[in-house]
Amino acid sequence: MDKIPSFTIDHLRLLRGIYVSRKDQVGGETVTTFDIRMKEPNREPVLENGAIHTIEHLAATYLRNDPVWKDKIVYWGPMGCLTGNYLLMKGDLEPEDILDLIIATFRFVASYEGEVPGAAPKDCGNWKLHDLPAARREAAKYVELLEHAGPENLHYPE
């Protein structure tokens, strides 16, 4: 089998940031998949399951309610390697286009208080696996990075 493009990225050099993973044509429209990389692969401890699950619930809720971007959100979900998330959006987009949106999303997560949306048995397949304090800590670290992001945090290493 052919190696898929995401396995050709040098994960030994990949930094935390926002990257375009791929662009696909779906029904005449471009769908951009973003790699929302919160951890340096193979060099930092991965996100804890409860933290990334809570980030998933909060970020998906925030993004799908954003008045400007909600109609462009296709999917938000965690990477299996637990180093970040994927965001699929309608449109031919670049990291610079969504930087402010992602900063706002992670500020929302970092400051969130209260019940996690969808964290109930009827709403979630593993509703007990949430860790709001850890999600808030991880989100705050990611906001700090994004507020000072340079080109190396917005484009895959060559």
pLDDT tens, 65-86? 999 999 999 999 999 999 999 9
SS3 content of the chain, % helix, strand, coil (to 5): 35, 20, 45
User: Any idea what the Cα angle at residue 71 is, between residues 22 and 153, rounded to 5°?
Assistant: 40
CA-to-CA distance for 123 and 23, rounded, in angstroms?
Answer: 31
Average of pLDDT values for 46-75?
98
Look at residue 2 and tell me whether its pLDDT is greater than 90: no
Q: What is the pLDDT of residue 158?
A: 75
- Of 131, 77, 65, 132, give the one whose Cα is nearest residue 101: 65
User: Fold for domain 5-149?
Assistant: Gyrase A; domain 2 (3.30.1360)
Q: Place 97 in a pLDDT band, splitting at 50, 70 and 90.
A: very high
**Per-residue tokens: 22:** 């791929």
What is the SS3 assignment for 128? coil
Domain boundaries of the chain, sorted by first residue: 5-149
**Backbone CA torsion sign across 105, 47, 118, 110:** negative
pLDDT 10s digits, 9-37? 888 889 999 999 999 999 999 999 999 99
Q: Place 39 in a pLDDT band, splitting at 50, 70 and 90.
A: very high
The Cβ of residue 149 has, within 10 Å, a number of other Cβ atoms equal to 18
The Cβ of residue 110 has, within 10 Å, a number of other Cβ atoms equal to 18
Q: Place 5 in a pLDDT band, splitting at 50, 70 and 90.
A: confident
Q: Place 58 in a pLDDT band, splitting at 50, 70 and 90.
A: very high
**First-to-last CA distance in the chain?**
24
Q: What is the pLDDT of residue 156?
A: 85
Average of pLDDT values for 97-117?
97
In this structure, the strands spanning 73-78 and 17-26 are: unpaired
